[in-house]
Structure 1
Amino acid sequence: MNTMFTRGPSIVSRLALALFLSVVLIFVDHKYDGFASIKVYLNSLVSPLQYVASLPGQILSSSAERFTSHQKLLEDNRLLTLQAVIMSEKLQRFELLQQENTRLRLLLGSPISAPTEKMVTELMAVDNNPFSLQIVIDKGAIHGVYEGQTVLDDKGIVGQIMEVGTTNSRVLLLADISHAIPLRIARNNVRLIANGSGELDELLLEHVAHSADIQVGDMLVSSGLGDVFPEGYPTAIITSIVLDESRPFAQVTATPIAQLDRLRYLLLLWPEDAPTRPIFQDYERALETVP
């Protein structure tokens, strides 16, 4: 008898057998965890295939990130180039104004401001005392920092050094309620004293006469009086003037130009008559040549 074309079990029978065996295997695996070692082996066997399958997606993702980073670098480079051109033009005007200022001071017999040495420092910590506005920076006595030293950010005056440690120092912000700074209005040289209000965005101008020539929006710069802060650094903008004749003085407030709530990199200044000189680390030597 020829059995070459003998048919086996039907498709339905095979499907039913496969389903039955699947249910049995699922039950055994769930109830007795009998295939734990086999699953580990199978996962190990399949993992290279999974890696190969996911490789195109990873390559595309990595290429997209690199392309985005490259585009961002190109855009940042373009913006920095434009800023460099703009700053170069401003520097040229500044040098011209500085020369004219020097000639005028010589004509008037007024002393010429001496060049100032400087050093970049970074914020380490912010004092969590709600009644005191202080920060800690990463420069100290080994860098030549001294008490009373002026501290700036990229906008204007931040405050002054109040305590010096070996490797760090504590800065009293100009908005602290115990801080005062002599200022003058850039527009007309009217001299004022600004006291801290205890709020980062507010200074109080004390003893301002009702007849004083002041306006909202006036720029306040350091006057150089008191031999603490060098002359001419931007400090605050007048934001409010209340003229109440029942009071002996006008109520004037100003907003610090320095971003006291977003400090990170700061600048320390050493005027010519400072009690110490800056001590640069090797990686900071380049700053000595910055004008």
Structure 2
Amino acid sequence: MDTIFTRGPSLTSRLVLATVLSVLLIVLDGKLDTFSNVRVYLNSLVSPLQYMANLPGEVLNQTSRALTTQRQLLENNAQLTRQNILMSEQLQRFEVLRQENDRLRTLLGSPVRADARKMVAELMAVDNNPYSHQIVINKGTLQGVYEGQPVLDDKGIVGQVMQVGTTTSRVLLIADVTHAVPVRVLRNNVRMVASGSGQLNRLVINHVPHSTDIQRGDMLVSSGLGQVFPEGYPVGRITDVIRDESRPFAIIRAEPAAQLDRLKYLLLLWPADAPQAPIDQDEAVNES
């Protein structure tokens, strides 16, 4: 069979001719740089193919870097979230400590007379009986607490001790319906009695004649009568004065000076003839 490939010189002759031409082209290109422009065109022609060949690998590299960056961002975000939670908890704790420190400073700096003995107590429990307003504090007979002892906060009179245990005491608040405080109007020294209404934010003043000089906004302070509460401590401020001639007495209401609904630290007072310093359990332990 006669084909196009069997015509002409033999295969050996073709190989020798191709080899000679290749060597000749190499020598010419090396000496005269004849094919530099041809190489530029060939490289330009092949470049898109090279880019296409490298494209899958580049896509994989970009995807890998994107996934790594996203994972790092998620890890960093989770770490920052944990740190933020920890810092928030510490900030809240520091804020509570700051507020308690401010309350203690205010309480110890309250206008207690110089000759009065005093001790800071802390609220332990609140009576859940809706018809009685009582609290429990963390001081008792070991600290010299006695029944009938006046109790204050940094704003005014809170109540008096009604039951005393070894290390705890029960305090009756001035808002209780069974409690009453002899008071006087700071503006004109009119004397009256402020009684509890059963509501933490209200006191009532009973049996006040219509002609009594009392006005809304008047400050009530303890009068010292009854020998329970020392004279001159804030009790409340008049909020309502209703003079209804159909009633035998005026209707007088007041708001307690003490913050009875947010008690935390309290101040116990002793009379002037009390011992030089109340006995403290911790001090007794240290001395022993």
TM over 0.5, shorter chain = yes
Q: Which residue does 1:258 correspond to in 2?
A: 258
Offset of 1:221 from its aligned partner?
0.7
Paired residue type of 1:129: N
Separation of aligned partners in 2, 1:210 and 1:153:
33
Separation of aligned partners in 2, 1:259 and 1:154:
9
Q: Which residue does 2:186 correspond to in 1?
A: 186
1:35-65 per-residue CA deviation (whole Å, 9 max, x = no partner) reads xxxxxxxxxxxxxxxx998763454345556
The answer as to 2:157 corresponding to 1:157 is: yes
Percent identical = 58
Q: In the superposition, relative to structure 1, how do residues 174 and 68 fare at CA in structure 2: closer, same or farther (>3 Å)? A: closer
Q: In the superposition, relative to structure 1, how do residues 71 and 246 fare at CA in structure 2: closer, same or farther (>3 Å)? A: closer
Deviates more, 1:264-273 or 1:137-146: 264-273
User: Do the aligned residues in 1 keep the contact of 2:191 with 2:223 (CA within 8 Å)?
Assistant: yes
Q: In the superposition, relative to structure 1, how do residues 55 and 270 fare at CA in structure 2: closer, same or farther (>3 Å)? A: farther
Q: Which residue does 1:127 correspond to in 2?
A: 127
The answer as to 2:206 corresponding to 1:206 is: yes
TM-score when scaled to structure 1? 0.61
Q: Which residue does 2:237 correspond to in 1?
A: 237
Q: How many residues align?
A: 209
1:5-42 per-residue CA deviation (whole Å, 9 max, x = no partner) reads xxxxxxxxxxxxxxxxxxxxxxxxxxxxxxxxxxxxxx
The answer as to 2:235 corresponding to 1:248 is: no
Q: Tell me, what secondary structure is at the counterpart of 1:210?
A: coil
Offset of 1:142 from its aligned partner?
0.5
User: Do the aligned residues in 2 keep the contact of 1:146 with 1:275 (CA within 8 Å)?
Assistant: no
Offset of 1:266 from its aligned partner?
0.9
Q: Tell me, what secondary structure is at the counterpart of 2:255?
A: strand
1:190-223 per-residue CA deviation (whole Å, 9 max, x = no partner) reads 1110111111111110121211111101111111
Q: Which residue does 1:196 correspond to in 2?
A: 196
User: Do the aligned residues in 2 keep the contact of 1:120 with 1:266 (CA within 8 Å)?
Assistant: yes
Offset of 1:137 from its aligned partner?
0.7
User: Do the aligned residues in 1 keep the contact of 2:163 with 2:171 (CA within 8 Å)?
Assistant: yes
1:156-179 per-residue CA deviation (whole Å, 9 max, x = no partner) reads 111000000011000000011111
1:117-156 per-residue CA deviation (whole Å, 9 max, x = no partner) reads 1111111111112221111111111111000101111211
Q: In the superposition, relative to structure 1, how do residues 57 and 136 fare at CA in structure 2: closer, same or farther (>3 Å)? A: same
User: Do the aligned residues in 1 keep the contact of 2:185 with 2:221 (CA within 8 Å)?
Assistant: yes
User: Do the aligned residues in 2 keep the contact of 1:118 with 1:270 (CA within 8 Å)?
Assistant: yes
User: Do the aligned residues in 1 keep the contact of 2:140 with 2:164 (CA within 8 Å)?
Assistant: yes
Q: Structure 1: which 5+ residue stretches go unaligned? A: 1-50, 99-112, 285-291
Q: Which residue does 2:58 correspond to in 1?
A: none
Deviates more, 1:168-177 or 1:51-60: 51-60
Q: Which residue does 1:116 correspond to in 2?
A: 116
TM-score when scaled to structure 2? 0.62
Q: Which residue does 1:142 correspond to in 2?
A: 142
Q: In the superposition, relative to structure 1, how do residues 76 and 119 fare at CA in structure 2: closer, same or farther (>3 Å)? A: closer
Q: In the superposition, relative to structure 1, how do residues 74 and 260 fare at CA in structure 2: closer, same or farther (>3 Å)? A: closer
Separation of aligned partners in 1, 2:141 and 2:98:
40
Q: Which residue does 1:56 correspond to in 2?
A: 76
Aligned-residue Cα RMSD (Å) equals 3.7
Q: Structure 2: which 5+ residue stretches go unaligned? A: 1-70
Q: Tell me, what secondary structure is at the counterpart of 1:188?
A: coil
